[in-house]
């Protein structure tokens, strides 16, 4: 096949995707979701590294430990604010369409939970089955523990998102009652907990207090998305979010000395993301404001088939990307660990050269994710042939893997 023929086929495929897109499809929202989705593997692949010990086992490491000036990169790659904003917006549209078809709230919720749960159950069950095999093939137990931790790490979002989805009807009522101000109590709740855990009372506060930020911290942007979907948040509110969020972000960094990185840094006592601090909400507010203001411009750009087709492909593989991107990186790093410290892959991320070489590895990680995704995407589809026994087995395997990854087994 010549290059000209390949280009013609790709162009034809893009045109077909564009032609099949319904006229009412909100391309801007899909584009924002795709951008936020791609930020997840990109962030994990760039800001996560490994070291190899004397026994050849892999350990997690981060370039942020050696290079604090990389922290602003996490401000760009931490796009969960946009992800939850779009999630709230999409949930409103889905819920309204279900109501129009006569689907009950419970039926709608079961469908949404199944779409989220199948891929998570799939990846954890597969890993549970792989661990004994990999150990028998000589992969060190420490490497398997490291890999399991990385695989389970991004899946926390599914549980939080499921709870938010269940609360969507109440979020809609709050949006109608309070408008965009419905998100303000969530911001206030996180601010209060941050004051208790970081302010003068911190010495007498229990360690579990930070967990109180888990739901309101991530639900802030989701509620904004619900308000946006219900047309209770427009351009004026978006400007308030952009300017106010940026100002609060700067204030927290400069005056209250919040950690600069949006992701956890090994060895640091405080982290912004687990659970979310007020800095995460400030960034989410600024990102949400910018996304709403840029919506029309993004929509016009995505009228081009060459830009729209990749967005469609990414959105169709959303859960596959989320669930399997760490496995793709491990598929390269684990075999390489037998060769020792390889720059940008298994060598310690403590030199600037590591950054350059890690960038060179990204295409391989992406190619491995595409290869894995060809088979893993089946977990996103309804399991028509799955018997109750197979479902129970998959659940048990997933539970066992989760216990292993969290160090409970």
Strands 49-52 and 58-61: antiparallel
- More confidently predicted of 241 and 22: 241
Of the candidates 85, 162, 89, 81, the residue with the CA atom closest to the CA atom of residue 121: 162
10 Å Cβ neighbour count for 197? Answer: 19
pLDDT in tens, 147-184: 999 999 888 888 899 999 999 999 999 999 999 999 99
What's the pTM?
Answer: 0.92
Q: Which pLDDT belongs to residue 81?
A: 92
Query: What interhelical angle do 168-178 and 80-100 show, nearest 10?
Result: 100
Of the candidates 134, 140, 117, 135, the residue with the CA atom closest to the CA atom of residue 52: 140
Residues 194-223 have a mean pLDDT of 92
**Cβ neighbours of residue 292 under 8 Å, at least 6 residues apart?**
228, 233, 234, 235, 237, 238, 241
> CA-CA distance, 398 to 396, in Å (whole number)?
5
pLDDT in tens, 359-405: 999 999 999 999 999 988 888 777 655 556 666 777 787 778 778 77
Residues 104-120 have a mean pLDDT of 90
Residues 275-287 have a mean pLDDT of 96
Q: Which pLDDT belongs to residue 27?
A: 92
pLDDT in tens, 295-321: 999 999 999 999 999 999 999 999 999
């Amino acid at each position: 096949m010549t290059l000209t023929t390949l280009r013609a086929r790709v162009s034809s495929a893009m045109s077909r995707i564009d032609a099949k897109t319904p006229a009412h499809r909100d391309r801007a929202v899909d584009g924002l979701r795709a951008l936020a989705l791609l930020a997840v593997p990109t962030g994990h692949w760039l800001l996560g590294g490994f070291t190899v010990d004397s026994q050849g086992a892999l350990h997690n490491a981060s370039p942020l430990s050696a290079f604090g000036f990389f922290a602003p990169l996490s401000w760009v790659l931490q796009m969960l604010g946009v992800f939850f904003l779009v999630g709230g917006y999409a949930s409103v549209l889905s819920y309204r369409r279900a109501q129009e078809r006569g689907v009950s709230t419970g039926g709608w919720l079961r469908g949404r939970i199944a779409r989220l749960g199948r891929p998570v159950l799939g990846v954890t069950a597969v890993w549970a089955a792989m661990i004994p095999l990999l150990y028998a093939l000589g992969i060190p137990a420490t490497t398997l523990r490291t890999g399991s931790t990385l695989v389970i790490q991004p899946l926390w979002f599914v549980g939080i998102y499921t709870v938010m989805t269940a609360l969507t009807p109440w979020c809609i009522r709050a949006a109608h009652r309070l408008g965009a101000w419905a998100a303000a109590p969530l911001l206030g709740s996180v601010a209060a907990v941050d004051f208790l855990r970081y302010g003068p009372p911190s010495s007498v506060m229990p360690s579990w207090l930070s967990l109180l930020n888990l739901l309101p911290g991530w639900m802030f942007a989701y509620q904004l998305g619900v308000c946006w979907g219900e047309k209770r948040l427009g351009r004026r509110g978006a400007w308030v979010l952009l300017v106010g969020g940026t100002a609060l972000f700067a204030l927290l960094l400069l005056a209250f000395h919040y950690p600069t990185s949006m992701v956890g840094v090994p060895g640091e006592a405080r982290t912004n993301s687990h659970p979310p601090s007020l800095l995460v909400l400030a960034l989410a507010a600024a990102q949400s404001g910018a996304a709403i203001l840029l919506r029309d411009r993004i929509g016009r750009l995505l009228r081009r088939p060459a830009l729209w087709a990749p967005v469609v492909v990414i959105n169709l593989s959303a859960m596959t990307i989320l669930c399997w991107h760490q496995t793709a990186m491990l598929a390269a790093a684990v075999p390489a660990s037998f060769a020792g410290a390889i720059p940008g892959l298994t060598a310690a991320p403590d030199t600037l050269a590591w950054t350059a070489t890690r960038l060179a590895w990204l295409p391989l990680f992406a190619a491995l994710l595409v290869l894995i995704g060809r088979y893993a995407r089946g977990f996103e589809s309804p399991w028509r042939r799955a018997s109750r026994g197979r479902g129970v087995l998959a659940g048990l395997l997933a539970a066992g893997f989760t216990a292993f990854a969290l160090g409970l087994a």
